[in-house]
Amino acid sequence: MLYYNSRKRGYYLSYSVKYEDIGLKDYKETWDYQAEVFKELVDNKKNGAESNSKPGTLIFVEHPHVYTLGKSGSENNLLLDYIQLRARDAKFYRIDRGGDITYHGPGQIVGYPIFDLEAIRIGLKEYVFRIEEAILKTIGEYGLSGSRLEGGTGVWLDPDIQGKARKICAIGVKASRFVTMHGFAFNVNTDLAYFNHINPCGFTDKGVTSLEKEMGMKQNIEKVKNIVRKRLGEVFDLNWTNINI
């Protein structure tokens, strides 16, 4: 679909994306599903198809308790052994995204954008910047002023204040042939106690927070999902193929 962008002074082709909210789903099962969608998009490009000929996919999911470690991370940042993990009903996976260790669990919006960045006409650095921007705009609707951390990724509150820096959204991605997978984890009603068992994203001097903690009450996660999806649509100029928002 063609849209006129007054800021860019011209018409452009928006990027078509299918949205899926798959609810509470096992991490490995979701990872495998992600990989299938990712492979289809990459294969489509390998076969010479135009970059915008196949829609991207945005997956929203909540996971049962799980810790994931990026390819450049250290297992020393997981402070539990196998027996302790089992006692906390949690799993652990070393995966193929960037970044270090993080936690996923109920009450957290995990977003997996499987996008073709060539179709959007941006690079990986700009892609991460735009995800951050969408989350910054989302928490702004709740009266929170977030920002980025120099030398890191994600969305933070008070990142430059010693002893107060806390992350509300982590980002870790993978890209091949400019197609992305993995994504972001936004703490909404997350049980933050699970972060006590890791050095989140490899940091030992910074904390984590959630929308619930900052607002002082549990939040309507469906409402938050709608805001995040809307903001992602704005920052990436997305054309949703299966929903009207």
Looking at the DSSP assignment, which residues form a beta bridge with residue 169? 155, 186
Q: Which residues of 59-78 are buried (b: 16+ CB within 10 A; e: fewer)?
A: bbbbbebbbbbbeebeeebb
Four-CA torsion 171, 114, 26, 167, nearest 10 degrees: 10
* Residue entry with tokens 């960037």: 98
Q: What is the DSSP letter of 152?
A: S
d(CA 51, CA 64): 34
Which of 201, 224, 228, 238 is the catalytic position? 201
d(CA 111, CA 228): 9
d(CA 154, CA 36): 26
> What is the three-class DSSP state of 232?
helix
169 a catalytic residue = no
C-alpha 241, offset from chain centre: 20
d(CA 225, CA 212): 14
Tokens of 51: 């970059």
Q: Are 231 and 237 in contact (CB under 8 A)?
A: no
Active site amino acids: 201
